[in-house]
């Protein structure tokens, strides 16, 4: 019996759900996607899908040698009033 293949989209979600989120490099390595493909998926498709069910993507911008991290967060009333998370 063959093992079920895990989609790259599921891999992205699983990594971003972690408490410490995921860096761009971690997501690229795990999926094999190029930087622009990954950013496009996160900014477009994933943001819309998560927004429809009350979640948002948060991005903790890196500085100097600290990489940017991406997280998935539950949208709260305060976030919705401010225009959502980015």
Give CB contacts under 8 A, 24+ apart, made by 60-63.
Answer: 60/21, 62/23
Could you please state the CATH topology (level 3) that the domain comprising 8-81 is classified under: Arc Repressor Mutant, subunit A (1.10.10)
Residues 52-75 pLDDT 10s? 999 999 999 888 888 889 999 998
Residues 21-41 pLDDT 10s? 999 999 999 999 999 999 999
Domain residue ranges of the chain, discontinuous segments joined by +:
8-81
On the question of pLDDT at 8 being above 70, the answer is yes
Neighbours of 16 (CB within 10 A): 21
pLDDT band at 81 (very low <50, low <70, confident <90, very high): very low
């Amino acid at each position: 019996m063959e093992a079920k293949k895990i989609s790259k989209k599921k891999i992205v979600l699983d990594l971003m759900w972690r408490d410490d989120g995921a860096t761009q490099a971690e997501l690229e390595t795990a999926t094999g996607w190029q930087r622009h493909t990954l950013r496009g998926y996160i900014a477009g498709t994933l943001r819309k899908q998560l927004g429809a069910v009350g979640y948002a993507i948060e991005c903790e911008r890196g500085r100097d040698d600290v990489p940017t991290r991406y997280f998935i967060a539950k949208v709260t009333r305060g976030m919705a009033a401010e225009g959502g998370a980015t």
